[in-house]
Chains A and B, each alone.
Chain A
Amino acid sequence: MIAQILFILVLAAGIFLFARRIREIRRNIGLGRSEERSDQAGKRLKVMTLVALGQSKMVTRPVAGLMHILIYVGFIIINIEVLEILIDGVTGHHRIFASMGMGSLYDVLIASFEVLAAGVLLACVVFLIRRNLMNIRRFHAAEMTSWPKSDANIILVVEILLMFAFLSMNATDSILQDRVAEMQENNEPVSEALSHYIDAGSFPVSDAFFRPMFEGIESNATLMNVERFMWWFHIVGILAFLVYVPYSKHFHIFMAFPNTWYSKLDAIGKASNLKSVTNEVKLMLDPNADPFAAPAPDPNADPIKFGAKDVQDLSWKQLFDAYTCTECGRCTSVCPANQTGKLLSPRKIMMDTRDRLEEAGEDLDESGNVKTDGKTLLRDYISEEELWACTTCNACVDACPVNIDPVSIIIDLRRHLIMEESKSPESITAMFNNVENNGAPWAFPAADRGKWAEEMEA
């Protein structure tokens, strides 16, 4: 009974802390501009099914892709077992699904969880080795020091510990089940506590690899304590992880599906047309437009801003992208600028956007305003040099396994530099002048544009 109350308290605390953090993230994403991303549900479902559920963009790199699928499938399926553990914890049962007349289906389920858990364990060990011992460039970039590096390792170690606890729990349970069955065969008395360990489940992995570790424990009471400890460690660990994840890059496990649902459905090459600019340009080009006839600007309306200087100038989807990023670095590893030693890293663009948004959120909590700290995404986080290194080739967008778009953020920040600050490299300013005056990025007279045709000589 005490165990049940304790369990319900821990569960409630976990859910409360998780929900509070989700509310905070929702609020932060809500700081962004509006953007329509809810049309064409059928097409969105298709993209989400293919990219998130089907992991289609992960497998372009087969080793990491297949290992990832192992962890992903393991995570989803093992949740059935977590459900059983939660019900057991609240109701005080042991392996409640087994007593629900599932028959051999329960054996199949537990056996498959075990195989998946072993797969997850193995994949996490391989990932730890890849990350820390192998010289894979994308894991050692400038932005992958301190917290991002520890975050990645914490996630892998926690997952290894959870799987270890899960398989140890099963191994000790399996030993206890056998001992109880033997006692019953010999008509020996079985204590109330021991009687929970009914013959349930099939444990191919833990029997083979984990059982030998615990068979030496002769005392059934000690063995039960070990089993309970592993059970508690596993489920409290999962709840703690649930609270940790939304503070971590690992949040992609919740964000990947909605983020792919809200993907840009147009051609990758299409950049947005700024509506605010369209209105002004139309007015400028209309010979009949009377600027004084325009309605007086609403004094309460937000001043029109062109491009983005800080996170609240970006759209909610760009902020959603930032929380979805799991810092895998596939974008950076295909970026032509990054590969040739320039400062730009698309992954850093996303990490900076998220970090600045978090900071703006904290500012909002403290003072009710996002701007009191005077910091901005541009310059305090992302430098002009990074922005001007981008070729807008969209290789990063193509490479992202969850359809994040760093290029749109780069263009929005460039828009602010140009249209609000008139700040660009000298040669870019010259190019603008040429386009404006000559209708070409070079200083050739517009009238000569058709001259090549005169040279269609024999």
Chain B
Amino acid sequence: MAEKIQVPTMAQMAASGEVPEILFWVGCAGSFDDRAKKITKAIVRILHHCGVKYAVLGAEESCTGDPAKRAGNEFLYQMQAMQNIQVLNGYEIKKIVTGCPHCFNIMKNEYPELGGTYEVVHHTQLINDLMKEGRLQVKDGGSFKGKRITFHDPCYLGRANDVYEAPRKALEQLDSELVEMKRCKSKGLCCGAGGAQMFKEAEPGNKEVNVERTEDALEVSPNVIATGCPFCNTMMTDGVKNFEKESEIEVKDVAELIAEAADLI
């Protein structure tokens, strides 16, 4: 049964003179969105269970600036980035795990030029590493044994940064049937949320992008659509509801699936 976990903040760690192994960058969705908070909690349960010495920034964390940058507001992005870098460098952070591919991409690729150089990994990469090291084990595939799971590649994890294998390797441990959509990996179709689309109405067209993508998923008749991004999660969940399939198909993050199968939630 899940235990109550005290999530350490960087401020607390610094006060007691401790240095975490890794900083968990939660992200805006993971902090505020009710659905995404469940993903955040699953990641924390995994970190805690594996004995990873981690910390979060809590109220000291702020938007990375990604939606502002992709929408063209370079000023706001760089303001956010430099303030975040000040905080991160102040704590002498070396390694970061993010719960969101957009945070992952921007901190990994765009922060270094502004003075913020860290080893940045996405949570599916960390989970895969923990499993490889034997620190995280799923007994007999857990509750997902034999189920059909399809992984939707988040653009900013896959195409943008070539991370295709880590989430799939982690999902393989579930002893389930991993099925690929016709458009997958570098050819994966966007969920429709990127480039600040999440925060605006779609431009006029004849279909929503998330509906088009959900059709790809429905074609392979999955029990679970797995994602690695809180925004993809929202879009795919809405897409499944659009087809009134929510009683048959679950949309879950890789972290949630693993945590559930390992009996952590």
List the interface of chain B (C-beta within 8 A of A): 1-7, 9, 26, 28, 30-33, 37, 40-41, 44, 56-59, 61-63, 65, 67-76, 78-80, 82-83, 86, 105, 108-110, 113-114, 155-156, 159-162, 186-187, 189-190, 192-209, 211-213
Pairs across A and B, CB under 8 Å, 10 listed: A267-B160, A307-B74, A337-B205, A388-B200, A389-B205, A395-B187, A415-B72, A418-B74, A441-B63, A456-B7
Taken together as a complex, chains A and B put the C-alpha atoms of A430 and B30 apart, in Å, by 20
Q: Which residues of B contact A342 (CB under 8 A)?
A: 202-205
**Residue of A432, A439, A451 most packed against chain B (CB within 10 A):** A439
- Nearest CB of chain A from residue B130's CB, rounded to whole Å: 19
Contact partners of B203 in chain A: CB under 8 A: 337, 342-344, 385, 388-389
A453 in contact (CB, < 8 A): yes
Residues from chain A with Cβ under 8 Å of B199 in the complex: 427-428, 430-431, 441
A436 touching B109, Cβ below 8 Å: no
Say whether A458 contacts B2, CB under 8 Å: yes
Among candidates B30, B70, B71, B76, residue contacting A436 with C-beta atoms closer than 8 Å: B76
A181 contacts partner chain B, Cβ-Cβ < 8 Å: no
What mask results when residues 395 to 430 of chain A are scored 1 for a CB within 8 Å of chain B, else 0? 100100000000000010111111100001101101
A419-B74 in contact (CB<8A): yes
Q: Which residues of B contact A267 (CB under 8 A)?
A: 105, 108-109, 160-162
Distance in Å: Cβ of B5 to nearest Cβ of chain A: 4
Which A-B residue pairs are the 10 nearest by beta carbons? Answer: A269-B160, A414-B72, A450-B58, A392-B195, A341-B206, A439-B62, A393-B190, A341-B205, A270-B109, A453-B7
Answer whether A340 and B56 are a contact pair too, CB < 8 Å, given A391-B192, A435-B65: no
Residue among B71, B78, B189 making CB contact with A278, cutoff 8 Å: B78
A391 near B156: Cβ-Cβ < 8 Å: no
Q: A391-B193, A452-B31 are in contact. Are A271 and B70 (CB under 8 A)?
A: yes
**Which residues of the other chain, B, contact A385 by a CB distance below 8 angstroms?**
203-204
A274 within 8 A of B: yes
Q: Is the CB of B59 within 8 A of A449?
A: yes
In the complex with contacts A269-B105, A442-B28, A424-B71 CB distance below 8 A = yes
Residues of A within 8 A of B204 (CB): 341-343, 385
Number of interface residues of A (CB under 8 A): 71
Which chain A positions have C-beta within 8 A of B73?
415, 418-419, 432
Q: Which residues of A contact B109 (CB under 8 A)?
A: 266-267, 269-270
Given A392-B70, A393-B195, 14 further pairs, Cβ under 8 A: A268-B160, A277-B75, A284-B79, A340-B209, A388-B203, A398-B186, A417-B72, A419-B75, A435-B65, A440-B32, A453-B58, A456-B5, A458-B3, A458-B4
**A304 at interface, CB cutoff 8 A:** no
A398 to B204, CA, bound (A): 25
Complex partner residue of B201 from A344, A413, A427, A452, CB under 8 angstroms: A427
A390 interface residue per 8 A CB criterion: yes
* CB proximity of B232 to chain A, nearest CB, Å: 11
Selected contact of A425 from candidates B44, B113, B155, B200, CB within 8 Å: B200
Closest beta carbon of chain B to A214's beta carbon, Å: 49
Is the pair A270, B206 in contact by a Cβ cutoff of 8 Å? no
Given contacts A391-B209, A392-B195, A440-B63, are A269 and B72 in contact (CB under 8 A)?
Answer: no
Identify the closest chain B residue to A270 (Cβ).
B109
Contacts of B194 in A (CB 8 A): 391-393
How distant is the Cα of A448 from the Cα of B28 in the complex, in angstroms?
11
> Does A142 count as interface, using CB distance less than 8 angstroms?
no
Q: In this complex, what residue of A is CB-closest to B40?
A: A452
* Cβ distance A109 to chain B, nearest Cβ, rounded Å: 40
Is A306's CB within 8 Å of the partner chain B?
A: yes
Given A267-B160, A441-B28, A457-B4, the answer on whether A273 and B209 have CB atoms closer than 8 Å is: no
- Judge whether A393 and B67 touch: CB under 8 Å: no
Contacts of B4 in A (CB 8 A): 456-458
The answer to whether A435 touches B67 (Cβ under 8 A) is yes
A306 to B32, CA, bound (A): 32
Q: Do A456 and B110 touch across chains, with their CB atoms under 8 A apart?
A: no
Q: Which of A277, A337, A432 contacts B71 (CB 8 A)?
A: A432
Q: A389-B203, A424-B72, A432-B73 are in contact. Are A441 and B67 (CB under 8 A)?
A: yes
Chain A residue with Cβ nearest B209: A336
Please determine whether B78 and A446 come into contact, CB atoms closer than 8 angstroms: no
Distance, CA A278 to CA B207, complexed state (A): 39
CA A453 – CA B76 in complex, angstroms? 28
Q: Are B205 and A340 in contact (CB under 8 A)?
A: yes
Complex CA–CA separation, A285 to B78 (angstroms): 10
B59 near A446 with CB under 8 A, answer yes
A185 at the interface (CB under 8 A from B): no
Hey, which chain B residues are within 8 Å of A133, CB to CB? Answer: none
Does A208 interact with chain B (Cβ within 8 Å)?
no
> Cβ of B76 and Cβ of A432 under 8 Å apart?
yes
> Does chain B have a CB within 8 A of A455?
yes
Q: Known contacts A269-B109, A281-B79, A425-B200; is A455 also within 8 Å of B41 by CB?
A: yes
